[in-house]
Amino acid sequence: MWRHGGVELLLRVHHRHLVGLVGYCDDGDNLALIYEYMANGDLRENMSGKRGGNVLTWENRMQIAVESAQGLEYLHNGCRPPMVHRDVKTTNILLTERYGAKLADFGLSRSFPIDGECHVSTVVAGTPGYLDPEYYRTNWLSEKSDVYSFGVVLLEIVTNQPVIDKTRERPHINEWVGFMLTKGDIRSIIDPKLMGDYDTNGAWKIVELAMACVNPSSNQRPKMAHVVMELNECVALEIARRQGSQEMYPDDIYDRAWFPYFDEKSWTQVTTNLTVNITNNYELPQGVAATGATPLNDAETLNITWDVEPPTAKFYTYMHFAELQALRANDTREFNTTMNGKYSYGPYTPTPLKIETVLDVKPEECDEGACILQLVRTSKSTLPPLLNAIEAFTEINFPQMETDGDDVCSIKNVQDSYGLDRISWQGDPCVPIQFLWDGLNCDNSDNSTPPIITSLNLSSSGLVGTITQAIQNLTHLEKLDLSNNNLTGEIPEFLADIKSLLVIDLSGNNITGSVPPSVLQKKGMKLNVDNNPHLLCTGGSCVNIGENKPKKNSIIVPVAASIAALAVLIGAFIMFLVLRKKKASKLEDGRSSQQAIMTKNRRFTYSEVMTMTNNFQRVLGKGGFGIVYHGVVNGTEQVAVKILSHSSSQGYKQFKAEVELLLRVHHKNLVGLVGYCDENDKLALIYEYMANGDLKEHMSGTRNRFLLNWGTRLKIVIDSAQETGFSSRQLY
């Protein structure tokens, strides 16, 4: 079975903005992937001018941003289980002949659970400059890691600046753009090759969106669904600019964007300089109400066409009419409306200089997503149909019910208490799932009952004040994370009263007082109060260090002093042993030189590797570039055999580096190299066998149930220190 991550992913994901897999080859050692051809290469080449041709226009760039964002949003929300790409960058965005964008290279992609934790713990992988700093620091990978990388891509798209440029005062593009924004001049940020040919409002919007994506805290970053929505608005703004005009706030009190839609071959534009009465529930801008269109030929119908996505989607239309012309006594304007040939409304006659709105009371549906609205003149009408404006709203199906009303009120109170101003905290907290509020997890499993909020994560959100009482009304809460803020005051007792709440993280705050016994004693409770400098936990209870408790303080000070003294003594002892054994180490290194020569000549064939591992029967673990197997040399000597994985892009470099290093370093506290195999594409390293595995296994208890005693731990520290001292002094 093919083991390459890119194939496994591409065989089960399909989207118009992901590079398609045509096929693959898995013939023994011959592995190949066959992709669809992308005629215009990658985005980075096109931005840098390496491919020649014209500069990408602002509209091109906005469309590329939207389409690549749609591909990424599909991985996060359309796949089951969801996927994290893990290597979003401009060289992994490929362009079609017409500059359509598709996301490529899924070799580092990872899936994460649909339910439960919203991140997976994994070894850091990705490209420097695009790598989420929070992921790099914690090894916690989530969809927000992709959001960060995509934010960097957005900044590249609009600035055409390198991600890292050491000639700049602020080398990383995030820092540079952030600094330039403080000057308030968007034109100093946007690619000068565009020569100002872009919509300024759209430019501000996309730069601000990109900076939100690269926020150091993942909780503060938007979801990709929101990014797609914002980018679509940027595209619309640019289209409107190119078509000549647009109407938004303050002209439109609802901040709607109105775009000219005019068919010069079939329509005649009608305008008036008189004031149109726009007073109704929809309040069109005066500039929109004072314009309209009629058919070029009075006898023809007025046709408007558009496509809906997906093709099966239902929608509502809102048509706005006002008579803009002064009619003669014998003139009549009357018409019917049809949708895809079916009668919709009429006959209708517009009111002079007063907007009236005709709307669908039931949703419409179009054949294969292609919609045709027709305004058809009646037999008694002397004038052709006239339309001032139209709005079409796609119906969004919510399989879930609205979020539990009490939970909605409670989370809104939490928001108000802390003054949270998050982009995603709008509308229903839990539905639709792709617009779930950042920092929340909800139970949406039963469509017959309202979703409930089960997890609240406000870590690193700049919270100040006390722990708000509004949290106590989130009665279904299971996890609460308020870590790394500036919260003060005492831990409230109501946390123990939330029956389902079993995980609380209050670390990294300035909490005072004692932890309520009811919280400490709650069965199954996991409480983290680390790094609260004014909170001290001893003997199972937490007390305010500032309280006047001389007896406890008199114990704390000597204990702290004793621990510090012990640490100094241990450090001195280790240094003493290292220095004392310096000569012995040199002698050992000298004695091992002959062994080094032997090791250099100890090259195994692949058939010998297969024999010593009994056809790779027993797996010991996973190393830096492949799987480690148990083996036996000469019938008695146990060894560990690390085999290079074909799916490891860096494997051969790591293999070569490790062999070169281990062939020239020898110390009793460094794992010894017994030999190696380098036969065509078969690469392996053979080490001495370490019977008790690694230290982490023993410390965590995953290897056995016995604790390492103090003497054993001290010996491990000394041996490791000797190895480090040897490395720093004698490697050159």
The half-sphere exposure of 718 on its side-chain side, counting CA atoms within 13 A, is: 17
**Count H helices, E strands: the chain?**
19, 32
430-456 as b/e: b if 16+ CB within 10 A: bbbeebbbbbbbbbbeeeeebbbbbbb
Strand partners, 103: 18, 93
Burial class (CB in 10 A: 0-12, 13-18, 19+), 670: middle
Between CA 716 and CA 710 the distance in angstroms is 10
Residue 41 φ/ψ region, left for φ over 0, alpha for ψ in the -120 to 50 degree band, beta for the rest: left
Of 150, 202, 210, nearest to 180 (Cα)? 210
Which pair of tokens denotes residue 272?
A: 């008036």
Binding residues are 642
> How far is CA 189 from each of CA 180, 192, 225, rounded to the nearest angstrom?
7, 8, 26
Between CA 357 and CA 338 the distance in angstroms is 16
> How far is CA 409 from each of CA 399, 444, 453, rounded to the nearest angstrom?
22, 18, 11
Q: Are strands 486-487 and 464-465 parallel, antiparallel or unpaired?
A: parallel
Burial class (CB in 10 A: 0-12, 13-18, 19+), 210: buried
The contacts found for 74-78 with CB under 8 angstroms, 24 or more apart, are 74/13, 74/15, 74/17, 74/18, 75/13, 75/18, 75/103, 75/109, 75/146, 76/143, 76/146, 76/223, 76/224, 76/225, 77/224, 77/225, 77/433, 77/434, 78/13, 78/15
Q: What residue type is assigned to position 351 of the chain?
A: T
Q: Are strands 619-622 and 626-633 parallel, antiparallel or unpaired?
A: antiparallel
If you ran DSSP here, which 8-state letter would residue 354 be given?
B
Ordered alpha helix ranges (H), 347-454: 405-418
Between CA 247 and CA 253 the distance in angstroms is 10
**First-residue to last-residue Cα distance in the chain:** 44
Strand partners, 376: 336
Between CA 687 and CA 641 the distance in angstroms is 6
Between CA 556 and CA 537 the distance in angstroms is 11
Of 207, 227, 215, 236, nearest to 77 (Cα)? 227
Of 89, 90, 93, 74, nearest to 19 (Cα)? 93
Strand order across the beta sheet in which 503-505 lies: 440-443, 452-457, 479-481, 503-505, 526-528
Which pair of tokens denotes residue 534?
A: 């004014």
- For 422, residues 6+ apart whose C-beta sits below 8 A from its C-beta are 220, 437, 438, 439
Q: State CA 414 to chain mean position distance.
A: 25
Contact 65, 157 (CB under 8 A): yes
Binding residues for ATP are 642
Between CA 212 and CA 210 the distance in angstroms is 5
3-state secondary structure 116-149: CCCCEECCCCCCCCCCCHHHHHHCEECHHHHHHH
Contact 307, 342 (CB under 8 A): no
Ordered alpha helix ranges (H), 160-196: 173-181
- Give kind and range of the element (H or E) at residue 456: strand 452-457
